Structures are given as C-alpha cells and as structure tokens.
Chains A and B, each alone.
Chain A
Amino acid sequence: MLSSVILSWVTFSYGAAFICFILNWMLKKDTARTLGEIIVGISFVVHLAAIILRWIESYRIGIGHIPLTNFYESLIFFSLVITFIYLVLRFVFRYTFLGVFMIPLSVLTLAYASLSPDVDQSIRPLIPALQSNWLTVHVMTCFLSYASFAFSFVVAVIYLFKGKRKGGSLPNRETLDELIYRGILAGMPLLTIGIITGAFWAHFAWGSYWSWDPKETWSLITWIVYALFLHARLIRGWRGTRSAVLSIVGFFCVAFTFLGVNFVLSGLHSYL
C-alpha cells in the first residue's frame, strides 16, 4: 500500500532530523537544529497525509474505517502525536532543546511499525466489537495521554541526566521539574477520559464497563501511579529527583499498558 511505503520513508526522514539534532548537540551549530526542525515539520505533514491516505485507501478497498484499529495503526498514530506535541512545544512554547530527546521516540515507534515483520500492516475489516463510535474518541484520548506521559518521561530523563550542572542549552532544573508536572497535568485528564470512554464502550459491547481485563487493569495501575505523583507533589511537596523517578515509573506502566499487555498477557484487547 502506498501509505505504508510513504510511512517507511517518513521513518527515515525523522531519523535524518534526529541526526541533525545530535549534530547540533555535539557541534553547537544552530543551522543543524534548524535543518532538523524543518525536516520534522515536513515529515509531520507527510506523516499526517499518509494516515489520511490510509483512511482513503480503506474506503477504496471497500472496508472504510478510521485508521486507529490495529497495532500498526496505533503505532503510527502514537508516533504522529509525539511529533505533534514536540512541534507545539517547539513553536508555541519555544522549547528548542526537546528535538534530540523526543524525536527518537517518533523514529523508534514508526520504525517498529514499518520495519518489524511481526507488525501486520494490512487494512482489515472491523470485527463486531470494534464497530462503535466510541472507538475514535477512546483511542485518540488514550494515545494523547500516552504521548503527554512520554513527554514527562523524556523531561524526567533529561532532569536526571543534567544532574546539578548549570548552564548549557538545557533549561534550569526548576523549569524541567515543572515541565514533568505539566505533562502529567495534561496526561491525567486525557487518561481519565480515555479509560472512561473505554468503560462506556465496554458497557455497550461486552455488557460490563469494567471487567478487570489486563489492559483495563494496567491502565488503572498507570492511573494510580500518576495519582500518587500528583499527591506526592501537591500534598507532600515532592520535587526534583524523586518526582522525576516517579514519572519514569509511570511511563514504564504506560509502556506496559500499551505494549507489554499485548505481548505478555492475553485479554479482550487482543486486536491492539
């Protein structure tokens, strides 16, 4: 399919942008970063276009559904959202340091989707459980929350990596600390809405809004970890290393909810 071919090329162009960001990091040349940013901008537009094309292709072969319904499609959407958040932070909030840390996530997820032989790229018709209007809003809010948490994770890693060093192109520790919090402040409502739209959907599809299916359970565990983060920060005043570590733990739960559950455990969410 053309869209899949385009997406494999987008993988490489994100990879090229990543190399530009590394060069900027090592050589302190702003031109390298600007070039990387231009490449990310163009790749993002092509990436979005390819997803829309996949949507059109699914109608052309007579199936016709939004491309958010299997593992391959969720990976390419996740990669898109990560890039989108990077672009917003770069061009709206003017954070120039994020490229070298966030774009590798886009590259990795898209590379896994495009190049791994285990990921089925074909467009398949929807099984009865997936034929629902809840699908779009459930999947979108979940992945937006995953991407917000991924952002927090990236900043937490930067925070730990920066240590007590001062100066450099990275923001100061207080700023990084608050950015971790902001990612979670955005991710938490999104995850809550994601879980609850899923619960509404499960109510109509399976007759139970909560059945302790592994994916549901892990999303709840993730939710609990971030709830602990919020309480630690707001009530007990946690800042710095401790809260960065907690954010990293949270993201491991996100990763396990998204990927681990499918590979390690079996359940109702077997299609994604």
Chain B
Amino acid sequence: MSVLVFLDQADGHIKKSSFEAASYAAKVAELTGTTAEAIVLGIVNDDLATLGNYGIKTVHTVAEAALNNMDAQVFTNILSQAVENTSADVIVFSNNTTAKAIAPRLSVKLKAGLVSGAVALPDTSNGFTVKKTVFSGKAFAHIAVSTAKKIIALNPNSYTIVPASGSAAIAPFAATIGTAKVEVVSVNKVTGEVPLSEADIVVSGGRGLKGPENWGLVTELADLLGAATACSRPVADIHWRPHHEHVGQTGLAIAPNLYIAIGISGAIQHLAGVNRSKVIVVINKDPEAPFFKAADYGIVGDAFEVMPKIIDAVKKLKGVA
C-alpha cells in the first residue's frame, strides 16, 4: 500500500501546486497508515530529495527527454505501471490542465474512482469520501468513492502545506514508455508571468477600467505584489485582455489568498470563479455593485483616483522608490 502523487513539471522545475499535492498526499498516507511516494516524468533539474520536506519518502523518476511534453496516453500508461510498482491505492494530482488530461484516463485504466477538484482531505470515518467544488464554486459535494483504488485531483491553493523533515530517496523507474499518437508541433509558453491558477495574489480588472490602455493600474499593482493578473468575461470578450486571464464560471476558477477586483461589478458568474479566494477586495464606484456583498474589504470610489494612491502605499510598504 502507498499513496502516489504525480509531480507536474515545466521546463525542468516541479510546479508549485505539485508541492501542495505532495504535502496533501503525505497527509493522506498518514491517515491511511501508509507511506507517500511521488513520480515525476521528464528531465528535472530540481533537487528531488527535498520532497522529503513535504513528507515524501521516495521519488520515482523517468528521466527521458521525450516526456518533457505531456502526452495523455503515454503518461497514463507510465503512471499505471508506477501504480502497480508502488502498490498505490490512492493517486494524487494537482488539478491543473495536465491532471485533467491524464487523471480521467487513469481512472478508466485502473477502474479507480476519480474525485476531480478536491478541496479537503478524504473522510475515512465511514468509507472514503472527498469534498470537492461543484456548480462552478457555488457549492461543494462530498463524493463517496467505492473502488479499491482512488484518484484525487486537488484544486490548487486548497491545502496548507505541512512542513516535514527528511530526504526523499530517488528511484529511477524503468517504465515502458510507448509511442505518442499525438505529435507536438510547437509549444508557445508565456514566460515571466505568474500562472493564474497557482498565484497567491490576483489583481483583476473589469469594464470599469474603461479600456485596455488603463491596464497599467492593474499590472503595476500586480508586479509590486508578485501577483497574477486576471479579468472579467466582458473584458476578455471585447479583447481588452487575453482569454486565458478570464476568471469566472465559464473561465478559470481560482482560489488565491488575496483577490483584488477593480471595476468589476461581481455578476454571479464572476463570483462563481473567485469566491473561494481567502480575502476578496473590491474597488468599485457603484456602492450597489453586488461584489461588495461577497467582499471582505472594499472601497467605494473611482479606480482612477484610488488606484494610484494604493500603488503608492504598496510601494512605500515594500520600500520601492
């Protein structure tokens, strides 16, 4: 028995959300009286022994350059071999686009019930039940998994990392890799930006900002705070900002520690994508904006007057001239 966590990597580095998934896997292992192991595919430059600090005992590696790009079929086949090799009965992913491509396939291959979008540890008091978001963040469901093997895809920023001590053993895994049926023609990565799904702080703008030329108010604050930038649906629809920044019911659902909404009224569809944020700040000149009902802090005021003062105050706080 073991709990196996899939570590997602990009450009040779383990993704931040995978450390959260690793710590979660270690806790699941503790709850079920077993050990947590990890697997990473592709060439990784990080010191994998440090996964011990997240409670991982062994990191299995398949260091093949062919695995630097994810192919859902190839990855599923390798993971199913790793599940067999480690006798894993719980498999943990961080619920990102990689996991969404692989976990459903693995669920079928292993006949393992999948909970996608988990936000809490499993409840093992009566069977095996995992809490997940449903209705695009407007509610939660407790999903009972009835199969012997279980797969949990944990939403990013849902679990607080528990520091552990130790050094993880590194175990090269001789997997049969197989051939990808999908050919990757090109990869175009946005570099230098904080990925939205993993960001601790998100600064977001809506139609209240009146035009893309005013986005400096959003990006300057985001840069100061090391935050990702986001936008409301109308803003993406009229191409003021790229589609991948759209948060809400039909865009990305996020759960940062801090969400700052500037000039966004807070329609129910937008709230659905952001209401799991720990602290919500709303800046809007309309005191009747529905977003204030969902906010923790707010300023009723004109963003064009308020934002420069906020940016100055943050600069002062951060000691930036």
Q: Do A and B come from one complex?
A: no
